[in-house]
Amino acid sequence: MFIIGTGTATPSHRYTQQDCWTALKNSARFQDLNLRSRAILKKVLTGENGIAARHLALDQLDNAFDLTPDALSARFVENAPALAALAAERALAAAKTSPREIDAILISTCTGYLCPGLTSYTSERLGLRPDVLALDLVGQGCGAALPNLQTAQALVVSGNCARVLSICVEVCSAAFYLDDDAGVLISACLFGDGAGAAVLSPTPGAGRRIKWKSSGSLLKPADRYRLRFEQKNGMLRNILTSDVPVLAAQHCATVFADTLARAGAARAQINGWILHPGGRDVLAALREKFQLSNDDVRRSESVLREHGNMSSPSVLFVLQAALAENAPGGLWWMSSFGAGFSCHGALLEVE
């Protein structure tokens, strides 16, 4: 399988962390929190946490404090299909592929729910054929991009699909929550909105040759409660614990070693690192575990700085950044991780 085109999209409104702090401290909601919670929010939003700004599906930041189930659901319904379609249009253009050539569309999300799913709305916007295979993948959190692509690979290798459109879209602002839980508060300060897409084919495209060489996954249900969503008062509420960076690094190392062994490749052959920017501490843990250089992680750090953690699309933003700057070819390691606790990786051969 080959990746023949990628595309990304974000909401038009960009807010700095200082913008968020100013709006938050002036809100009535802020006064409902205890002193410890207020101190956490100030520290995260005004300190150095690797994030400068985020794109949010909010016309104004005051809308972020409307935490009713109906308001959050409406935000997802309004923005998720539009973001997914825009990223897909850009990927299709890069792949020089028309919407009518797409045989299957796969969309991953965890920040909202629709039935029929996002594939219905996005297919309509794109003008895909009515006989397109549409698969909605939910509940995989930040790590969803790689399982999505693995599913696309299975469809391509089967010979049943010549062009597959893979999309990840998250409206994290439709899942913001404020209470006196530290993990919930930190999540509200770290996550942004966005979408990423890729077009997959059994043959190379006209652009740079990106071959999906091998992949692997690891699922650790025993660690499920360390990173997940729960439902409270009819709303999604992110649970984030302090040991996530260590877990991510450990599990990523396991998937990396297993996948390279199956592919007959060595660590020294890896020429590029496409890592999900789950947060400053996550990237620091990955850097230490894999003994990476500043250059190895700078694209992930750049995506985190400009967008925050967008959950599942984030790693696709890193991949596109590497392609946009014509990073040196060879073997690239692409990895994502998240709720489950799950970890995924893919070995890409880039020319």
**Average pLDDT of the chain, as a whole number:** 94
User: Using CA atoms, how far apart are residues 118 and 175, in angstroms rounded to an integer?
Assistant: 17
Domain final position from 179, 201, 223: 201
| Cα–Cα distances in angstroms (integers) from residue 164 to residues 6, 100, 317, 320, in the given order | 12, 11, 19, 18
Q: Check residue 239 and give its pLDDT.
A: 76
Mean pLDDT for 268-284 is: 96
Same domain, 181 and 218: no
Same domain, 145 and 33: yes
Containing 138, the helix (H) or strand (E) segment is strand 133-138
pLDDT at 237 over 80: no
Same domain, 309 and 191: no
Cut 0.85: pTM above it: yes
Same domain, 145 and 220: no
pLDDT band at 230 (very low <50, low <70, confident <90, very high): confident
Chain segment 117-144, per-residue pLDDT in tens: 999 999 999 999 999 999 999 989 999 9
Q: Check residue 238 and give its pLDDT.
A: 79
CATH code of the domain containing 29 = 3.40.47.10
Greater pLDDT, 183 or 334: 334
Tell how strand 133-138 and strand 104-109 pair up. Answer: parallel
Same domain, 263 and 241: yes
Tell me the torsion sign for CA atoms 221, 224, 228, 231. Answer: positive
Domain count of the fold of the chain: 2
Same domain, 121 and 227: no
Same domain, 171 and 306: no
Tell how strand 164-170 and strand 104-109 pair up. Answer: parallel
- What is the domain extent for residue 122? 2-201
pLDDT at 227 over 80: no
Same domain, 233 and 322: yes
Same domain, 217 and 296: yes
Greater pLDDT, 241 or 102: 102
Same domain, 126 and 219: no
Same domain, 85 and 220: no
Percent of the chain at pLDDT exceeding 90: 84
Mean pLDDT for 146-159 is: 97
pLDDT at 240 over 80: no
Same domain, 191 and 233: no
